Structure 1
Amino acid sequence: MCRDRLAVDGRTLICPLGHRFDLARQGYAPLLSGRGRAHRSDTAPMVAARRRILDAGVFAAVQRELAAHTDPASSSIVDAGAGTGHYLASVLDAAPEAHGIGIDLSKYCARACARASERAISVVADLWEGLPVRSGTADAVLSVFAPRNLAETARILAPGGRWLIVTPNPGHLHQVREELGMLRIGAEKLERLHRDLAGGGFVVNAAVPVVSTVVLTAARLADLAGMGPAGHHRTESELAAAAAHVAGAAGEHPVTLDVTLTVAHVDRPHDRS
């Protein structure tokens, strides 16, 4: 609202001008402005499905790669579009002195994120209204299958800070994507991302492919679809029926995880001197 710093007063966050935000009973900080939003946030069933998928280790390869590209000396890590906080917790394990901030539009995500790590706080905020983080303080920002605000990420990254971005490739979940009603992935998605980064003042340090194959039961296939946009458009029973059809008599089906981890930093002239 005023972009001033917040201090903790009991279970309330308060700024010098008197703006107050009471912590939710579930442990997260609600920092929405109250203005209308055009974006849909994840529902409770979508978050529950995502937790089951992540707890089952389906995206473990992504977690390992994120941790491998985290500076262990980091002190502050922001997950912009944190979901359940699962990836943030993995990265914090790789940086033992760091504290994390998980930001998501969904209060259901924020509830899960608040329990993800003792070294992280959970915030409900709209990424497009600005990240509620002080400028130049984040050693790393995560954007894992999440919207990306280039200007705000550039603002909050500390000198030498890293932006770790995970995006799906066209082959991601290709065996089940159409039948489960999941969105198609454009062939030039990664190229567009790198063009956007260059236009926003970032330099790409690495683009690391992460590919693995997992075998999922019909129940987990339904969760895989239900945790994403398909969860807004299909009922749980519709997803379960589609997943059962995909799994067939065997009751399970292999799927390929095919994503790219892009590592970038802000191109600041004084950092090159």
Structure 2
Amino acid sequence: MTLPDAVVQALRCSVCGDPVEPAGHALRCPKRHSFDLAKQGYVNLLHAKVPAGTADTAEMVAARAEFLAAGHYAPLADLVARQAKTSGLIVDAGAGTGYYLARALERNPGASGLAFDVSATALRRAAKAQERLGAVVWNLWEPWPLAGGSVSVLLNVFAPRNPAQFHRVLRPDGVLVVVSPRNGHLGELASVVDLLDVDPRKEERLDSGLTGRFELAHREDHVRGLTLSPEDVRRAVMMGPTAHHPQRLAGLDRLRDPVEVTTSFVLSVYRPRRVAE
């Protein structure tokens, strides 16, 4: 497998910052720093260990893939894809299995996509999610191995945010699409397991974190009721951050009946501001 040309052109060596190009089953820069392309189709540009509990585990990734494949978040994926209008490069920061990025690429046949995630396990699936998608293992908190101004649309769906890098890699006419859970998202599951709480000030913190670099162009809520089987309840819990805390999961084993839940998200679209050097 190879990475799409547009992805390779945007990538930079994570050691020296030079452009990279294909060299057999690897990417290599002029200084001969080389990064092997895994047989599963992704490339790992990290050169440092990821802190424990940061990346999704194989069990978490499997739960996410199964839950999303059931279509529970398909309306949200369509909503995200409608905001990603471009024939350029779409980058999903914290892409996981590539579900939202693949949907955006399906809606934009002239675009290419780059899935960034710290979980190689998740990116094995993302690399196969869409033929115009390239997958790269990277820690979003580190400076990104991407050329400045190379990204037309940046997606950030339930993932960490790095405003400085968002602004650096986006084109001046680019778009940042952020999806966050609202307080009360899947709140009914608190009767089943000890869920981690959503910060009630999350939206305020989101805006304040982007202030100075971005301006809000559009915002809308997405609220929907679902009936989840016991198995889908387990998947919904296991694909989120609560899964990193096994002591909170005891109630899953006792669940026998479907659960009515409410999904509650906010989608925000931002435009980059011109920032003085």
TM-score in terms of structure 1 length:
0.91
Matching residue of 1:261: 267
> How many residue pairs are counted as aligned between the two chains?
262
The one-letter code sitting in structure 2 at the alignment partner of 1:229 is P
Structure 2: tracts of 5 or more residues without a match: 1-14
* 2:173 is the alignment partner of 1:175: no
Structure 1 residues 256 and 165: alpha-carbon distance in aligned structure 2, compared to 1, 3 A threshold: same
TM-score in terms of structure 2 length:
0.90
Matching residue of 1:218: 230
Superposition pairs for residues 187-202 of structure 1, below 5 Å? 187-199=200-212, 201-202=213-214
CA contact (8 A) 1:177 1:184 kept: no
Matching residue of 1:24: 38
* 2:198 is the alignment partner of 1:208: no
Matching residue of 2:177: 164
CA contact (8 A) 2:153 2:176 kept: yes
Structure 1: tracts of 5 or more residues without a match: none
Q: Distance in 1 between matches of 2:87 and 2:202?
A: 29
Compute the displacement of 1:178 (Å). Answer: 5.4
* 2:163 is the alignment partner of 1:150: yes
Moved over 4 A (4+): none
Compute the displacement of 1:171 (Å). Answer: 2.0
Compute the displacement of 1:37 (Å). Answer: 3.5
CA contact (8 A) 1:77 1:100 kept: yes
Q: Distance in 1 between matches of 2:236 and 2:53?
A: 21
Q: Distance in 2 between matches of 1:25 and 1:197?
A: 37
Structure 1 residues 145 and 177: alpha-carbon distance in aligned structure 2, compared to 1, 3 A threshold: farther
Superposition pairs for residues 1-273 of structure 1, below 5 Å? 1-35=15-49, 37=51, 40-71=54-85, 73-177=86-190, 179-199=192-212, 201-234=213-246, 238=250, 240-242=252-254, 244=255, 248=256, 251-268=257-274
Matching residue of 2:8: none
CA contact (8 A) 1:66 1:91 kept: yes
Q: Distance in 2 between matches of 1:126 and 1:196?
A: 19
1:205-264 C-alpha deviation (Å, 9 max, x unpaired): 01110111111100000010001122222289846315x1xxx5xx21111110000100
Compute the displacement of 1:179 (Å). Answer: 3.0
Structure 1 residues 239 and 121: alpha-carbon distance in aligned structure 2, compared to 1, 3 A threshold: farther
Q: Distance in 2 between matches of 1:54 and 1:109?
A: 13
- Work out the percentage of aligned pairs sharing the same amino acid: 37
CA contact (8 A) 2:243 2:249 kept: no
Compute the displacement of 1:159 (Å). Answer: 1.7
The one-letter code sitting in structure 2 at the alignment partner of 1:158 is R
The one-letter code sitting in structure 1 at the alignment partner of 2:242 is A
